[in-house]
Amino acid sequence: MAVELPAEVQERGERLGRGVRYALKVLCGQLEDNPLLGSPTGEPSMYAARIDGETFEDCPELDVQYAYGPPMLAEGQVRILSVEAAQPAAVAPEREPVAAPDPRLEEMAARQVTAAWQRVETWLRDHAPVSFDSLQEGASSEEIDRAERELGVRVPGDLRALWHLHRGVQSSSGAAFLPDNAKLMTIAEAIELHQHWGQIYDFGDGLWDHRWIPVCTLGEHSWSNGLYLDAGTGEVWSWDEFANRRVEFESLTTLLEEMADALEAPSLAGPAKPGLVDGALVWGTP
C-alpha cells in the first residue's frame, strides 16, 4: 500500500526542522504496514498521529493528520493531509466527534437537492436569463474532494450534489438571485471565507465552528452576512458580522424547495416576493 505525501505538505513540514523529511519517511513506511496506526479524529476517514521529536535529530514533536479509505479516499489509499508542530493538549481546541453519515440518507438528500435545484434552474432559464447565465459549471468529484481537505470537514451529500450541478455563480449582475437576494458562493469563495472566520474566531471559542461551510452571502459583494451549512446537523444557519447565529432552514433541501415553490406559486412566498429586473431574479416588496 503506497502512502501519498503531497509535495506542498512535505515542504511545509520541512520548514519545522531539518529532520522532518526523514521522520515523515519513517511514518509513511509505518502507515504502509498499518494504516490504522493513528487515532480516529471522529470524522470519517480522518486519523491523527504524533511523531516523537526525541526519536529523530533536528525534528520537533509533530502532529500529523492523514486520511485513510472511504468516504474521502478509495479503499486502501492513505494520504498525509497536514504536518504541524505539536501543541500542548490543553491548548488544542477539542472537537466533538461527528457520527458517520447514513449512506442512504445522504443519497436521498442528494436526490432531493438535485430535484429542487432543477426546478429553480428551469424557472431561471425560462424567466430570468441574466441570472441563469451567471451559473458556473458543475464541479468534479476530485474538486470537491480537494475542497474537503482544505475545509477540514466532510462535505455533506446535499451540498456535494449542489456543487456537482454548479460550483457557484459568476460575480455579475443578476447573480444574487437566491431568497433575500443572496449569492451562491463559489467553492473557492466558501473555502476562503471559512478560513477567514476560522482565523478570526480561532475555531475554538464557539463563534465559528470548523463544521460550518459557507454557502451564500447576502448581497453580491458583502461577506458580513450570509448562510452556512452545519455539516454536523445539516441545518442552514444565518450569520452576521456581530457573530449572531440562528437556524433559518432545516436543511439545504428545505431552502431550495421553498425557493422553487415561491417561484412557481408566488402567493406561497413570504413578505419578499420574486420579481424581475432587466432579466434578473430579485426578491422584494411586490
What is the rounded CA–CA span in Å between residue 5 and residue 152?
17
- Percent of the residues in the chain that have a pLDDT greater than 70, as a whole number: 91
Which residue carries 511545509 as its cell? 12
Residue 199's pLDDT is: 75
Domain ranges of the chain: 3-85, 103-284
d(CA 66, CA 58): 23
Rg, the chain, Cα only: 21
Cell 503506497, residue? 2
CB 64 within 8 A of CB 79: no
Q: Are 235 and 250 in contact (CB under 8 A)?
A: yes
| Mean pLDDT value of segment 261-269 | 89
Domain 103-284: give its CATH architecture.
Answer: 3-Layer(aba) Sandwich (3.40)
Q: What is the pTM of this model?
A: 0.64
Band of the pLDDT at 90, cuts 50, 70, 90?
Answer: very low
CB-based burial label for 63 (10 Å; 0-12, 13-18, 19+):
middle
**Using an 8 Å Cβ cutoff, are 177 and 170 in contact?**
no
Residue 51: strand, helix, or coil = strand
Asked if residue 139 has pLDDT above 90, the reply is yes
Does residue 95 surpass a pLDDT of 50? Answer: no
**Hey, which of 8-22, 31-45, 76-90, 107-121 has the most confident mean pLDDT?**
107-121
Does the structure show a pLDDT above 90 at 256? yes
Contact 227, 237 (CB under 8 A): yes
Cell of 83: 504536518
Q: What is the pLDDT confidence band of residue 54, given thresholds at 50, 70 and 90?
A: confident
Residue 155 DSSP label: P
Tell me if 57 sits within 8 A of 19, measured CB to CB. yes
In the chain, the amino acid numbered 122 is T
> Does 99 score more than 70 pLDDT?
no
